[in-house]
Amino acid sequence: MSERPGPTTRIRVTELSGPSVRQRRDDLATEEPLEIRLTAPDGTRRTVAITMRTPGHDFELAAGFLHGEGLARHGDIASIAYCTDEDLPPEARYNTVTVRLRVPVPELPALDRHFLTSSACGVCGSASLDALRDRCAPVPSGSLKLTPDLLYGLPDALRAAQGVFGKTGGLHAAGLFSSDGALAAVREDVGRHNAVDKLVGWSSMAGRLPLSEHVLMVSGRASYEIMQKALAAGIPVVCAVSAPSSLAVELAREFGLTLVGFLRGERCNVYAGAERITG
């Protein structure tokens, strides 16, 4: 069995500083492929996704991806384990996850079209709002209310919890916060979508879904895929350090999510769902 990859990889680099040149060691964020395979009770097997990710919390990544795409809920999953199939070379076994289902493998043509792909930003989901309407209902308005001061504190709290970023400077992060601003969990990955999948997978495996009293904070921009994953997990508020896309805003407004962008210092833009922000 080969050695299990970690979240960081140490290399030697040549550092230039003014006229000086020196050799030193540096830590990089590890980037490795992860293949997600499904196995049904009747023995049917299918690969549903291949994504580039930072090793760590791989089972959460698989569970979160399947939940976000509507392929398998937590109750549908019997077990998740690294693959030991004989067709895999030893060095690939920690890069392949087998999800054993209690139900048949989904027969969705979209699997072949959208998910068998490789991307440093993660695996993208449904390509249109029409597909999302078929499986997701709007988020209830609920009782969640947030003050501007609470929002302003989220980026620093997320940054302080990014352990691997502190070593490498090269990872996205997603943080899940409770309604009082307390950090519930944070996940890091080279792909921002993967970081969110890991958080959703953690919540799903712990029986915490839906996350109707929580806020999702992401370190980059708010894309359609990020909003789709938040909607599937029942997260009513999504905050991002950078800008949202036009489709992310459209999704938020149609499905009743609050979307906050350019959250930096003591300022931000609220693109949808401003009724959850008080004061």
Q: 4, 117, 141: which is closest to 65 by C-alpha?
A: 117
Say how far apart CA 158 and CA 192 lie, in whole Å. 14
89 prior amide bond cis, ω within 30: no
User: Is 175 annotated to bind ligand?
Assistant: no
User: Is 165 annotated to bind ligand?
Assistant: no
User: Is 263 annotated to bind ligand?
Assistant: yes
70: left (phi over 0), alpha (psi -120 to 50) or beta: left
Pairing relationship of beta strands 96-101 and 183-189 according to DSSP bridges: unpaired
User: Is 32 annotated to bind ligand?
Assistant: no
Asked about 124 being catalytic, the answer comes back as no
Q: Which of 121, 124, 136, 268 is catalytic?
A: 121
**Which stretches within the chain are classed as H helix?**
58-68, 109-110, 129-133, 148-160, 163-168, 192-205, 224-232, 246-255
Say how far apart CA 4 and CA 26 lie, in whole Å. 20
User: Is 213 annotated to bind ligand?
Assistant: no
User: Is 266 annotated to bind ligand?
Assistant: yes
Contacts (Cβ under 8 Å, ≥6 apart) of 231: 132, 136, 139, 251, 255, 257
Task: Decide if 258 contacts 273 (C-beta within 8 A).
Answer: yes
Residue 4: strand, helix, or coil: coil
Please give the annotated binding residues, written as ranges: 262-267
Residues with catalytic roles: 121
